[in-house]
């Protein structure tokens, strides 16, 4: 059986007919952009066998070091919601990148901190992550980046929790 050749829509096809609405076009462009930028990021994190979510967790903990963060506060600050923060932390703890403790005055609370091994891993990644972000968005100038950040915040605002760190 002959394989059907897949081609892009003709260049002269009006853009509006490729999408049901401008809303859909904007959303699908966000999704496509996320996919393209994520693949660049993944290549950095795969080298050290961590996920972007684990990296984000370690970065947040480094920012609070030497203090420890309450697990629920950590979960709220993550870039992407972690459906199972406990398992995410379990994996990091197994690799000795974080430590957890329960304060004596409230055993229901779990506080999380970054270990020296976690700090070393982040230091190893610092330059590569910076280069990754330049590879992802370095073709945009400062004004374009500022405009992009503003538009993304505007698009996200009605969907954020009122007390969101990202608001």
Instruction: Report pLDDT for 103.
Output: 84
Q: Average pLDDT for residues 136-159, to the nearest whole number?
A: 96
Structural contact between residues 115 and 99, judged by C-beta atoms closer than 8 angstroms: yes
- 81 located within any domain: yes
- 162 located within any domain: no
Q: pLDDT digit string (tens) for 98-110?
A: 999 988 888 888 9
DSSP structure class, residue 4: P
Q: What is the CATH number of the domain that holds 74?
A: 1.10.10.10
Q: Average pLDDT for residues 127-156, to the nearest whole number?
A: 96
pTM for this structure?
Answer: 0.82
With bands split at pLDDT 50, 70 and 90, how would you rate the model's confidence at 82? Answer: confident
- 47 located within any domain: yes
- 7 located within any domain: no
- Domain tally, the chain: 1
DSSP assignment of 66-96: TS-EEHHHHHHHSSS--TTHHHHHHHHHHTT
- 77 located within any domain: yes
């Amino acid at each position: 059986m002959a394989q059907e050749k897949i081609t892009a829509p003709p260049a002269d096809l009006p853009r509006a007919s490729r999408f049901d609405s401008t809303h859909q076009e904007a959303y699908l462009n966000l999704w496509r952009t996320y996919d393209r930028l994520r693949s660049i990021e993944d290549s950095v994190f795969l080298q050290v066998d961590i996920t972007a979510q684990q990296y984000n967790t370690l970065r947040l903990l480094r920012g609070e070091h030497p203090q420890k963060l309450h697990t629920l506060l950590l979960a709220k600050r993550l870039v992407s919601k972690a459906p199972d923060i406990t398992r995410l932390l379990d994996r990091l703890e197994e690799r000795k990148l974080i430590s957890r403790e329960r304060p004596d005055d409230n055993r229901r609370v779990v506080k999380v901190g970054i270990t020296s091994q976690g700090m070393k891993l982040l230091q190893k990644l610092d330059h590569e992550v910076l280069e990754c972000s330049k590879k992802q968005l370095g073709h945009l100038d400062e004004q374009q980046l500022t405009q992009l950040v503003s538009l993304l915040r505007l698009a996200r605002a009605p969907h954020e929790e009122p007390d969101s760190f990202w608001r």
